[in-house]
Structure 1
Amino acid sequence: MTLRQIKPGNRGFLYVNSHPAGCAAVVDELWQQTPAPSGPDTGAGPVALIIGSSAGYGLAATVAALRTHGMRGLGIAFEAPETERRTASGGWYRTARTAELAGPDGDFAFLNADAFSDAAKEQALDHLAARYGRVDHLVYSVAAPRRTDPATGEVHHSAIKPLGSAYRAKTLQFDGDTPLVGSLELDPAVDAERDATVQVMGGADWKLWVDALTDRGLVHPGFHTVALTYVGSDLTAPIYRAGTIGAAKQHLEDTARRLQQDLAPLGGQAHTVVAGAAVTQASTAIPSIALYTSLLRAELGDGFRSTAQQATALWQQLTGAAPLQLDEEQRIRLDGWEMDEEVQAAVHARWAAATTDTLAELADTDWFRAQVGRLYGWHVPGTDYDAPVRTTVPWPSGI
């Protein structure tokens, strides 16, 4: 066993190394934040396919499925192994720890593969068919910068840009350890950039997964599939909901309605899930989101709902323990705590007053920076970062 002493090696919000022990501790915290089963053991749990199981809401959904519901099935993620120059990715180490917590008697496997590819679909469905026969739930939580269309081979690259007109707004920046309020201006996307973003982040791949399951007869009566989306504040709307990402999210929601029609004869359902704000690797790449989230956290404090809390609420609805909380567009809403009118009014006031001089009293930038580091296993309390650590961790066996 080789031990290495590693350093974060970060530039801004991007870290080149992940800490195995810190990543494991993050998963342990998610596990503890998720309720244990409250009722008697009724035998084998439902079968779930969770695509994007190693990070963000997908990870939280996986942990909640395993911890609370004894879920069986398969999680899919696309993570980088260790090299001579760098550690494995944070998602690699988180997946390894998630599998450990599921225990030796757990019936949940993990596949490291590009979920956009036909090969991943074939391998995953072969496993599900041989092991379970049918699937009860499909959770789609994929965030990626690019996608290769399996039908054409064309590579589409997403763009984070406004639509229609330029976007200029405040941003959160760090000069060393010092948080600053800066500004950024982005030109509007051209049609090709908008269309490419829809191809990457819209519902095309989600539908391919559902179609593949139904074509092979792997959909159980009562099957329910959901895909994660976000609405957010009108403060960030020009770069998010009204921008290229928003066009992709609209396509995702339109896809949910088409899937709902397709699945209805089979007794199935399809919905998008509007989650609340969170610090994820995807969200840190979006201008203004860091500042907005820091302000929101300062306003709400412990009222800021974690991904574990949101995933717990989601599974309660998917398993029938609680009724579906649908809006007028038939989306499951988990973001009421964020979108509350009084909360939004208070965050608007903080946003208007936010400058470098006022930032310390208006935004929780220390919390935000720590949350970014935790994505890679850094800034996790109780982790000894001075001690050498085993960085070579095998991917969980099983598929």
Structure 2
Amino acid sequence: MSGKMVKINQKFMGNVARSVNPYGCRQEILNQISYVENKGHYDGAKKALIIGGSSSYGLASRITQAFGSGADTISVAFERPVKDETMLGTAGWWNNIYFKQEAEKAGLIAKNFNGDCFTKDMKQQVTDYIKSEFGGKIDLLVYSVAAPKRTNPENPNEVWRSQIKPVGKTVTGYNVNLEKNELFEQSIEGATQDEIDATIHVMGGEDWELWVQFLKDAGVLADGFKTILYSYIGSPVTYEFYHEGTLGKAKDAAEASSHKIQKMIDDIHGKSLISVSKAVTTKASVVIPIFPVYCIALYKVMLEKGTHETPIMHKDRLFRDMVYGDKPEIDDRGRLRPDAWEQDADTQAKTVALMKQITPENFNTDLTAYDTFRKEFMQINGFEVEGADNDSVDYDEITQLRP
């Protein structure tokens, strides 16, 4: 017997979704699992902890470990539950629930911690769980966190807030408004030194270091333990507002953290890795100034070449072929480079040339891949998902579910 049915409506504020389709999120999980399973089994992690495992690259990492390698998994993420019939929670809330359902059907452990990954209390909760109910040790830690703020662990009165800004200059260019389907000109002023420092505290590698040190001190890291953080370089046309901006400074700091972590885990034959990712559609990437315009040009070129990837495609290839496989692509700084397809010289040349042709009048035509970019954004929130065409959900049913 069905319960109270609630109509699902798409709501946006600029490039931020204000609504979610829980059943679409469930189908998206099933679709990603199917993709991994069709690739077959590989010998990867067996006990994995994903910090930021509820969406995008973190979720994709969790799915490929569970359904590609048969791993038990723990995810730490901060997601909003159902509040009422007009606010059905976040997509990540439902991703955690439906991932757990499918993992447990497959006989796997899938533990979700919903809370602030930056706190010592969360680190202690996870450690206690590993010791008591997760076999005592983990062999993989994925750090995939995109957060707006972080409280100083040494001073609870100080809160650092991350900023997406250029450094040393004001940058002007086109951006996309997904709510209005418009292309508009945007100028972003250069960050102050305080804003740069705060972004490094939030988006750099400080908390990654703290996690590994905490787990190491607790004796829950297995021999041969691996840990990986995701970085991004992208095209020179995006350097001003990413690679050379505040986010780029944070990623540089994360690489320094990786070297510190490597020394920390040498004695357990561990490996600390930085992986440079491909540009993809995520909740974070759609609000990076000017970045969506690069994406709609890049996607067009990569779709024509057959090299375009969604997060699950990208991360499954990373772990299957590079982290645990025999096809690693490593640069002169020791970073894994699954972004090589994006960085391909011909791909970049065609993307840059296409960007020069984009105008407010033609951006939403066959000239670009705006339709793909927008659809991928919708799918993050459970809309326009293949296999899920519902326009309402059983409110009584979904409110009984817990992650």
TM-score (ref. length: structure 2): 0.92
CA distance in 1, matches of 2:154, 2:356: 47
CA distance in 2, matches of 1:233, 1:67: 32
**Residue 102 of structure 1 aligns with which residue?**
103
1:260-308 deviations in Å (ceiling 9; x for gaps): 1221122111011111011000111101111111111111114201211
Contact kept? 2:62, 2:73, Cα under 8 Å: no
**Residue 49 of structure 1 aligns with which residue?**
49
2:315 is aligned with 1:315: no
Contact kept? 1:71, 1:108, Cα under 8 Å: no
**Residue 67 of structure 1 aligns with which residue?**
67
AA of the residue aligned to 1:7: N
CA distance in 2, matches of 1:24, 1:353: 38
**SS where residue 376 of structure 2 aligns?**
helix
Contact kept? 1:167, 1:185, Cα under 8 Å: yes
| Paired positions, count | 392
1:352-376 deviations in Å (ceiling 9; x for gaps): 1111233224311111111111111
**SS where residue 237 of structure 2 aligns?**
coil
**SS where residue 384 of structure 1 aligns?**
coil
**SS where residue 373 of structure 2 aligns?**
helix
1:166-202 deviations in Å (ceiling 9; x for gaps): 11122223573x443x221111111000000000000
Residues 175/68 of structure 1: CA separation in 2 closer, same or farther (3 Å cut): closer
**Residue 370 of structure 2 aligns with which residue?**
365
**Residue 337 of structure 1 aligns with which residue?**
341
**Residue 107 (structure 1) shift:** 1.7
Residues 74/299 of structure 1: CA separation in 2 closer, same or farther (3 Å cut): same
CA distance in 2, matches of 1:30, 1:65: 12
CA distance in 2, matches of 1:373, 1:36: 24
**Residue 45 (structure 1) shift:** 6.4
Contact kept? 2:73, 2:109, Cα under 8 Å: yes
**Residue 149 of structure 2 aligns with which residue?**
146
Residues 174/305 of structure 1: CA separation in 2 closer, same or farther (3 Å cut): closer
TM alignment of 1:1-399, pairs within 5 A: 1-36=3-38, 38=40, 46-84=46-84, 85-104=86-105, 105-131=107-133, 132-153=135-156, 154-174=158-178, 176=180, 178-180=181-183, 182-301=184-303, 302-317=306-321, 320-359=324-363, 360-390=365-395, 391-396=398-403
AA of the residue aligned to 2:138: V
CA distance in 2, matches of 1:90, 1:201: 22
1:220-277 deviations in Å (ceiling 9; x for gaps): 1101100111111111110001000110010011111111122112211101111101
**Residue 319 (structure 1) shift:** 5.8
CA distance in 1, matches of 2:13, 2:190: 27
Residues 38/286 of structure 1: CA separation in 2 closer, same or farther (3 Å cut): closer
Which stretches in structure 2 are left out of the alignment for 5+ residues? none
**SS where residue 292 of structure 2 aligns?**
helix
Contact kept? 1:5, 1:389, Cα under 8 Å: no
**SS where residue 236 of structure 2 aligns?**
coil
Contact kept? 2:91, 2:382, Cα under 8 Å: yes
CA distance in 2, matches of 1:319, 1:346: 30
Contact kept? 1:148, 1:155, Cα under 8 Å: yes
Residues 234/39 of structure 1: CA separation in 2 closer, same or farther (3 Å cut): closer
**SS where residue 274 of structure 2 aligns?**
strand
CA distance in 2, matches of 1:197, 1:377: 30
Contact kept? 1:113, 1:120, Cα under 8 Å: yes
**Residue 95 (structure 1) shift:** 1.1
CA distance in 1, matches of 2:197, 2:233: 20
**SS where residue 273 of structure 1 aligns?**
strand
Contact kept? 1:202, 1:248, Cα under 8 Å: yes
**SS where residue 353 of structure 1 aligns?**
coil
Identical columns (%):
29
Contact kept? 2:176, 2:292, Cα under 8 Å: yes
